[in-house]
Structure 1
Amino acid sequence: MTTQNERRLIRTIQSETEKHNVNNLTRTKAYLHFFNNHNEIHWSLLAHMVSRNGGYNMTDLKSSLIGRFLSEKEKKKLFHFIERANALIFHDAYPQLLLYELSKRENTSFFHLLPALGITKFMIPVWEHFLLSANSQFLTLALITNEQHYIEKHLINLKTTNESIFKTFTFILQEKMGLTHVIFPFKRYPFLRTYSLAGIEVREFSSVQDRIKIGKQLYSILFSNLYFDSIMHFANHIIHTASRSDYWPHNFSKQVQNDQKILSPSLSNAWDDVSHLFPYRSDWFTEISMIKDFERGMIVEDGDITKEVKRDLHMLIAMGKLPLPSLAEKKKR
């Protein structure tokens, strides 16, 4: 049972979460704002940078490179899939961050309220442990595990998430792009004009364990001594519009009329906001085997993938000059 004061706190947290869960831009901004106020919560910065990439993926569907390969129906289907995943994670994670902020301010734990917010019981001892240990890595690895299992239950495994989503992704990302990347812009030296890109190539999205592995690899890269300061400078100084011109303006442009650059529109010019209904109190954590080795981190020695991204970009540009296959040829694939 919750007290009247606790119910008031829950409503406040739900309202604050809803206020920021409008679109990719508002979520991305909220994650960064929280990290800047509580930089012991590493996951919030990781979520900010991954959310930037989610925005890039959304606007890619309307870009001059990828958009031409898709019908309007396919574009909308893929956008709603990415948007849904983005919104679900925020809906689950942001209340946890706000509860931590409250617990920190009041110097007492409020994490017994997690189930009342529809958050898995797995996270209760994790947050309680963090209050005592201040182990940022342990918390981050737990949150990575939690969020991927959350979207596995509430999106990936749903019957309404048609298998054709993944078939379409495979066609775009592998046959057309070769591979896709999650990228973190950085500069090896502050005086350089252009950003290099740290990150990883993503080969498999449908497996929850592979997504958790990706999250751990990205965390290793983001908080490495080699990249952290420069990525933080980018995050705090480059406003996220979801256009790839945010980090590579010499290659991409938000403007349609710029023939010398690749069209990469801002999110506000590409897609309208979407209203979501969210799942209510359905816990993904049903057996201990689901969290086996969750606390085991990963180390990425060198995360610089600038050359690989440029290679795939040049390949896409070359493919964009080719005539599109006929409908019959596409069906054969």
Structure 2
Amino acid sequence: MHHNDRKRKWNGFSKTFPYSLLDVKDELKKKGKKQTSVKTWELTGEETRLIHEIKEQTRQHNNNNVTRTHAYFQFYLRYPEIHWALLGHMVSRNGGWNMTDLKGDLYTRLLSEKDQLIFFSFLERGNWLIFQDVYPQFLLYEQSVKRSKRLFHLLPFFNVSTFMETLWNHFWRTGDQYMLAIATVINEQSYLEKRVIQNAHFKKTVLNSIGFKLYDFFRFNHILFPFYKDETKQETLLVGNTMKHFTSLHERILLGKRLYSLLFSRENILSGVVDWAHDHPHTGSRKDYWPHLFNDVNESFSRAFYKRRTKKCQLRKGADRLYSPRLIYTWKDLNHEEEESKDWFEDWHIMDYLIDKGENIDGEIYDEYCTTLEKIELAILAKKNVLLREEAEDE
């Protein structure tokens, strides 16, 4: 990025940082000037072993969306001070729902098999990349806690950004849970920006070739957090927010901050989400949260002419539930190519996102989500009508 562009880019941001962040600012300023490469100091045998073990554990949990999502939640239960583990768990659930939607009742009628596979690869790549970046950080924190000594100097051996090394050390000193969670949001989205959104292969195969369809897909992409209404666990409610411009790093970071505040600023939502997630292991099927509307068994003949089945998130009279398969029966595990290890961090001004500017939202999503389901059904009917018209013209 050209120096003047960068200056302009950050001009709207605040000039003053909270006192608690001044040491972070100084350290990141120094780091921004020179890219620090992995130091080749002598590792002790114990450190070498630890690095190997963490890489192996990460690899084992990084098979697919279900194993990743499960690993995040288990980690959160062990270390609830690491807020991002729960946020990552819930967002990863949504990633799994998006993956199975591609083979469910609605999108199979709108997208070709080739497009379904391209979309899946796109979603899966992002899900895989984030996990292999963030999970080693968590395991290193766990080892630091167990040994009562910080081990964050080992982060470069997992190709984790120097930005996070600074923030983990800050967290170790201060215990600032908000700061660490938002730093992780910034890190993961910046990491994705370099490797997926700006990636030449994805730009060519995904963003350009079916770009407009992808925008449509994401326009319909609400991030949903199911939670129990109260202790009786009788009723599951939804809160959430909508992804507006998924190719904008700025928008994705702000979305992450809004989702964080949705989860962690209201105790009833936090406890309701944790209890719900505990009682509903992630399968990838939307039946997990709404069995009245979705089923992981296909109830209808897929060749049958599609009739509208939903109204205000309820089934129309006599309609079959929407097919929402489990991930395990939908997509095979992919073998991913390793990433090159370039650090995304260049400009210390990105830490401006660490300041809490009150990105609060009410989380109302129900009506918007119901309308979206109806819009997708209308898109299917419109497509059918176009095909029928074309067939009639051919005759």
Q: TM-score under structure 2 normalisation?
A: 0.78
Q: Against the structure 1 CA distance between its residues 74 and 301, is the aligned structure 2 distance closer, same or farther, given a 3 Å change threshold? A: closer
**Aligned residue for 2:183?**
142
Aligned counterparts of 1:212 and 1:134: Cα–Cα separation in 2: 22
Aligned counterparts of 1:31 and 1:25: Cα–Cα separation in 2: 10
Q: Is the 8 A contact 1:95 1:117 kept in 2?
A: yes
Aligned counterparts of 2:331 and 2:243: Cα–Cα separation in 1: 24
**Aligned residue for 1:246?**
288
Q: Partner amino acid for 2:336?
A: H
> Could you tell me how far 1:190 is from its partner in structure 2?
4.2
Q: Secondary structure of 2:246's match?
A: coil
Q: Is the 8 A contact 2:100 2:327 kept in 1?
A: yes
Aligned counterparts of 1:242 and 1:169: Cα–Cα separation in 2: 25
Matched, 1:312 2:372: yes
Matched, 1:222 2:263: yes
> Could you tell me how far 1:282 is from its partner in structure 2?
1.4
Structure possessing the higher radius of gyration over alpha carbons: 2
Aligned counterparts of 2:299 and 2:103: Cα–Cα separation in 1: 15
- The percentage of aligned residue pairs carrying the same residue is 38
Q: Is the 8 A contact 1:25 1:242 kept in 2?
A: yes
Structure 1 window deviating more from structure 2 (296-305 vs 209-218): it is 296-305
Q: Partner amino acid for 2:277?
A: A
Q: Is the 8 A contact 2:186 2:353 kept in 1?
A: no
CA RMSD, aligned part only? 2.2
Aligned counterparts of 2:219 and 2:179: Cα–Cα separation in 1: 34
Which consecutive residues of structure 1, in runs of 5 or more, have no partner in the other structure? none
Name segments (4+ residues, structure 1) moved above 6 Å.
none
* Number of equivalences: 328
Structure 1 window deviating more from structure 2 (39-48 vs 289-298): it is 289-298
Q: Partner amino acid for 1:6?
A: E
> Could you tell me how far 1:209 is from its partner in structure 2?
1.0
Map 1:151-300 to 2 at 5 A: 151-163=192-204, 165-166=206-207, 168=210, 170-171=212-213, 174=216, 179-191=220-232, 193-225=234-266, 226-258=268-300, 260-296=320-356, 298-300=358-360
- CA deviation digits over 1:129-159, x for unaligned, max 9? 1111111100000000000011111111111
Aligned counterparts of 1:183 and 1:5: Cα–Cα separation in 2: 42
- Of the three residues 45, 52, 75, the one matched with 2:93 is 52
> Could you tell me how far 1:53 is from its partner in structure 2?
0.2
Map 1:29-48 to 2 at 5 A: 29-48=70-89
Aligned counterparts of 1:193 and 1:52: Cα–Cα separation in 2: 21
Q: TM-score under structure 1 normalisation?
A: 0.92
Q: Secondary structure of 2:201's match?
A: coil
- Of the three residues 96, 117, 125, the one matched with 2:166 is 125
Q: Against the structure 1 CA distance between its residues 162 and 210, is the aligned structure 2 distance closer, same or farther, given a 3 Å change threshold? A: same
- Of the three residues 75, 79, 87, the one matched with 2:120 is 79
Aligned counterparts of 1:140 and 1:278: Cα–Cα separation in 2: 26
- CA deviation digits over 1:163-201, x for unaligned, max 9? 562363642553x78632000012333447442210101
Which consecutive residues of structure 2, in runs of 5 or more, have no partner in the other structure? 1-40, 301-318, 391-395
Q: Against the structure 1 CA distance between its residues 224 and 290, is the aligned structure 2 distance closer, same or farther, given a 3 Å change threshold? A: closer
- CA deviation digits over 1:95-133, x for unaligned, max 9? 000000000111101000001111111111211111111
**Aligned residue for 2:145?**
104
Aligned counterparts of 2:153 and 2:214: Cα–Cα separation in 1: 44
Q: Secondary structure of 2:200's match?
A: coil
